């Protein structure tokens, strides 16, 4: 997205195709060297995870273990198509053609749903169970890759952007992608790990010895509403990356800043509206996830109607309190999401990645653990306070990074009118390592 959009702004849109192709080569390499071995080692990975999390990992029934390995292995081994589809999607984002991504995503989901309906249950002789769900997801990934790939190789796109002639692997392009891509990859992967520890380890710890996992249930319900809030913001962040990248490629850093502030305001407006809903409709929102009858039926111990009703009320009340806490950091989350995308569009990814890794482990994990063991009387609210602190501090750090203006000194491409032609293998990073790595 960054290199493609900056080359688009610099008047050299044909240079972006080389980055798309080399993104595909990198994705295929990661799949072959990392994910394929991981897929075959999946039973051992799951065994290790259960040993870390569960008190009695051997209590899980054998058929469940078999299903999780079957489903996980199919998805991991079929991840090649998903990885390559993500790479091509960012090429089209950078080219300011998001409709290609939208069409491919909708088509992939439709195919996935239909095939899942056909293959999971015994319909028309296809009864593959959980394996059918895995196969349908992989086939959906094939569709998601095939559509943008066909567009990129179409006669029109080749005529305009030379997309068919830049398929060869290029170490210089891969080096460029790795230079600004690894911090973002580490940042996203790190957040997944930290939030997994938070939701699967810290919050459920308050349910030990309880008949109903009230804290866990409330936490996951809150997280679903947080997804409704921040996922559209993530989409806007991808757009901001492309917009800022194009402006930077044009040499218009002033315009890049104005566009970033504008879209940050839009994102804050949306997430602020979500925050108001969290505050004023929290009980009703959590109540949509809670049913006393289902609690009684799914409980591992026998519950009478009164106990189930009391547990449902406790989940709703706790979830509503956590939604109010989530509302506190929604505007800060909007700032962090938008400005991280803006900085990525300028090629400034190292320090935002450092901020994310350091703060998430310090506040979400270490801070949450401290709350669990030092202030247990706060219950699940304690770790959630530290999660809120993480988002607030991260937003402040990224805001300072953006207004500091260091991203304006980074130069990944040159304008077409400057007469710079780097040859067949395209642009490389023109700024100094000191500028790139300076906080």
Q: pLDDT tens for residues 129-172?
A: 888 889 999 999 999 999 999 999 999 999 998 999 989 988 88
Q: Which residue has the higher pLDDT, 371 or 417?
A: 371
Segment 182-187 shows an average pLDDT of: 86
pTM for this entry: 0.82
Q: For the segment 66-107, what is each residue's pLDDT rounded down to a tens digit?
A: 888 898 899 999 999 999 999 999 999 999 999 999 999 999
Whether the pLDDT of residue 125 is over 70: the answer is no
Higher pLDDT, 2 or 426: 2
pLDDT band at 43 (very low <50, low <70, confident <90, very high): confident
Over range 166-189, report the average pLDDT.
87
Q: How confident is the model at residue 189 (pLDDT cuts 50, 70, 90)?
A: confident
| Residue 439: pLDDT over 60 | no
Contact call for residues 179 and 143 (beta carbons, < 8 A)? no
pLDDT interval class at 207 (50, 70, 90) = confident
Decide which of 434 and 192 is more confident: 192
Instruction: Decide if pLDDT at 293 tops 80.
Output: no
Cα–Cα dist 271/119, whole Å: 38
Give the C-alpha separation, 335 to 93, whole Å. Answer: 21
Report whether pLDDT(299) > 70: no
| Burial of 390 (C-beta count, 10 Å sphere; 0-12/13-18/19+) | buried
Q: Is the pLDDT at 417 greater than 70, yes or no?
A: no
State how far the Cα of 202 lies from the Cα of 427, in Å rounded to an integer. Answer: 46
Number of Cα atoms under 13 Å in the Cβ half of residue 55: 4
Per the DSSP assignment, residues forming a β-bridge with 126 are 123
Cα–Cα distance measured from residue 5 to residue 293, given in angstroms and rounded to the nearest whole number: 53
Domain ranges for the chain: 1-169, 180-290+316-439
> CA–CA separation, 70 vs 78, rounded Å?
12
Mean pLDDT of 172-196: 87
Distances (CA, A) of 219 to 280, 288, 366, 386, 391: 18, 14, 19, 14, 17
Q: In the prediction, which pLDDT does 260 show?
A: 96
pLDDT band at 215 (very low <50, low <70, confident <90, very high): confident
In the block, tokens 């950078």 appear at 94
pLDDT tens per residue, range 307-316: 778 878 888 9
């Amino acid at each position: 997205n960054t290199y493609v959009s900056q080359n688009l702004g610099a008047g050299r849109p044909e240079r972006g195709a080389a980055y798309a192709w080399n993104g595909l080569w990198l994705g295929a390499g990661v799949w072959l060297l990392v994910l394929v071995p991981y897929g075959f080692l999946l039973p051992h990975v799951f065994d290790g995870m259960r040993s870390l999390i569960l008190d009695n990992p051997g209590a899980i029934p054998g058929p469940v273990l078999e299903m999780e390995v079957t489903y996980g292995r199919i998805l991991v081994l079929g991840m090649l198509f998903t990885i390559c589809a993500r790479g091509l999607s960012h090429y089209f984002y950078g080219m300011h053609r998001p409709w290609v991504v939208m069409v491919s995503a909708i088509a992939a989901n439709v195919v996935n749903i239909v095939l899942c309906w056909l293959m999971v249950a015994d319909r028309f002789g296809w009864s593959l169970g959980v394996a059918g769900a895995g196969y349908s997801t992989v086939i959906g990934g094939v569709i998601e890759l095939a559509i943008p790939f066909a567009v990129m190789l179409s006669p029109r796109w080749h005529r305009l952007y030379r997309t068919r002639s830049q398929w060869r692997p290029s170490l210089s392009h891969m080096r460029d992608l790795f230079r600004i891509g690894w911090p973002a990859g580490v940042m996203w992967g790190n957040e997944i790990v930290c939030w997994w520890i938070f939701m699967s380890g810290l919050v459920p710890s308050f349910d030990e010895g309880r008949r109903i996992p009230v804290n866990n249930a409330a936490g996951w319900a809150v997280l679903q509403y947080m997804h409704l809030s921040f996922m559209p913001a993530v989409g806007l962040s991808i757009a901001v990356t492309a917009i800022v990248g194009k402006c930077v490629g044009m040499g218009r850093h002033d315009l890049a800043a104005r566009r970033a502030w504008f879209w940050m305001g839009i994102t804050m407006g949306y997430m602020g509206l979500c925050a108001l809903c969290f505050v004023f409709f929290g009980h009703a929102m959590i109540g949509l996830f809670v049913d006393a009858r289902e609690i009684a039926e799914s409980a591992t111990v026998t519950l009478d109607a009164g106990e189930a009703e009391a547990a449902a009320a406790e989940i709703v009340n706790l979830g509503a309190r956590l939604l109010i806490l989530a509302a506190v950091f929604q505007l800060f989350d909007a700032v962090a999401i938008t400005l991280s995308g803006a900085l990525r569009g300028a090629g400034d990814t190292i320090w935002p990645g450092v901020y994310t890794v350091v703060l998430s482990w310090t506040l979400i994990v270490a801070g949450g653990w401290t709350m669990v063991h030092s202030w247990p009387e706060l219950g699940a609210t304690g770790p959630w306070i530290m999660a809120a602190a993480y988002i607030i501090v991260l937003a402040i750090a990224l805001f300072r990074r953006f207004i500091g203006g260091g991203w304006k000194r980074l130069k990944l491409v040159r304008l077409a009118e400057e007469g710079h032609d780097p040859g067949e293998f395209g642009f490389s990073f023109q700024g100094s390592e000191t500028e790139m790595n300076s906080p």
